[in-house]
Amino acid sequence: MNEIKKVEKDEKLIVNICGEIFNRKEAKISVFDRGFLYGDSVYEVARTYNGIPFLLQEHLDRLWHSASLLNLSINYTQDEIVHQVNRALAELGEENAYIRIIITRGEEGILSLDPTFAKSNNLVIIVKDQTPNPKSWYQDGVKVILAKTQRTNRMAVDPNIKSGNYLNSVLAIMEARKEGVYDAIMLNVLGNITEGSHSNIWMAKGKNLVTPPLTAGILEGITRKMLIQLAKGNNIQVDQKDITPNELINADEVFFTSTTREIVPVTQIDNSPIGLGQPGNMTKELIKIYSKFIHQQTVDQSGNG
Ligand SMILES: Cc1ncc(COP(=O)(O)O)c(C=O)c1O
């Protein structure tokens, strides 16, 4: 435990706040910022490979989409944000970097829920080294549980808004940590599968891939979107349809997708092994297809590939 704390403290990390560059210790934001007071902000997590931002345009588009669903106006252009991301990355100097872009509704003149009192946005960009996934995830997969915490209803805080209010996911991952597993998969009000605390979920049954539809109440993951296209391009059928917990546990293969963790095989749910209890062939095939895509989008374009 102490070791984890030490690594986090010593980690190289750069913060860009509204165009000013800070180190971890110096980076501060007002306690009157609505992001702090109410989670009234939107954010994205993107990354680089080989020094090149990966699918940054897709992340910016989703940032704008999240903001529009909250009626949060962004006073920056996408080009300005790209410029500030690049400045932070240049300062960091890591080939494989994690990029968090946060836009808050701004600081308050008076303490009030009413957003009309908000001043202009605060833009915070945090970049740090992106550690690779542990090898064991590819050899053995990860264990998960079904969360008791339900996914927020789409008619409440829509999970498709990537906002600073992530308490629903925090509650789910706390359940997972309590059980000593990687993550917890949340169900919706109908009892169907939605997603993990920070990644989309998929299952393979026979030759078909299935992932819950947006109507289940999920974040439309950018990795999910790309993998749907890539799978179809490789003649793998993908169905976006509701999945019951029983169907998931009885699938041949299960895996998560996300920007930072790519494709993570899941081999146990609530103590039941999935398929043969090892990462399956379809998952392995998709990992290869996705790695090739990353290579094409980044390494190949840098002139080093
Ligand atoms: C709740 C949730 N679902 C899914 C994802 C995966 O999205 P992406 O593939 O865009 O990283 C994330 C990560 O941002 C997430 O937080």
pLDDT in tens, 20-60: 999 999 999 999 999 999 999 999 999 999 999 999 999 99
For the chain, report the end-to-end CA distance as a whole number of angstroms: 39
CA distance 272 to 250: 9
3-state secondary structure of 149: coil
From 63, 258, 259, 290, give the residue whose CB has the most ligand 1 atoms within 8 Å, as the site to mutate. Answer: 258
Give the least confident one: 139-153, 162-176, 286-300.
286-300
Instruction: Identify the residue whose C-alpha is closest to ligand 1 atom 16.
Output: 198
CA atoms within 13 A on the CB side of 294: 20
How many Å lie between the centroid of ligand 1 and the Cα of residue 195? 9
Distance from Cα 260 to the centre of ligand 1, integer Å: 9
Q: Letter for the amino acid at 171?
A: L
The answer to whether residues 227 and 210 touch, using CB atoms and an 8 Å cutoff, is: no
pLDDT in tens, 64-80: 999 999 999 999 999 99
| pLDDT tens digits for range 180-195 | 999 999 999 999 999 9
Secondary structure of residue 182 in the 3-state scheme: coil
Residue 218's CB is within 10 A of a number of other CB atoms, namely 24
In this predicted model, what pLDDT tens digit does every residue of 214-247 receive, in sequence order?
999 999 999 999 999 999 999 999 999 999 999 9
Q: Give 20's contacts (C-beta < 8 A, 6+ positions apart).
A: none
Atom 1 of ligand 1, residue of closest alpha carbon: 198
pTM comes to: 0.95
How many A from CA of 171 to the centre of ligand 1? 16
Select from 259, 286, 293 the residue to mutate for testing ligand 1; criterion: most ligand atoms less than 8 Å from CB.
Answer: 259
225 carries an active-site annotation = no
Q: What's residue 108's pLDDT?
A: 87
* Ligand 1: nearest atom to the Cα of 162: 16
pLDDT in tens, 95-144: 999 999 999 999 987 899 999 989 899 999 999 999 999 999 999 999 99
Name residue 296's amino acid.
Q
User: How is 196-220 classified by DSSP, letter by letter?
Assistant: -SSSEEEEEETTEEEE--GGGT---
Helix (H, G, I), strand (E, B) or coil at 52: strand
Partnered with residue 253 across adjacent β-strands are 204
Cα–chain center distance at 167: 14
Residue 141 near residue 267, CB atoms below 8 Å: yes
Q: Which atom of ligand 1 is nearest to the CA of 222?
A: 10
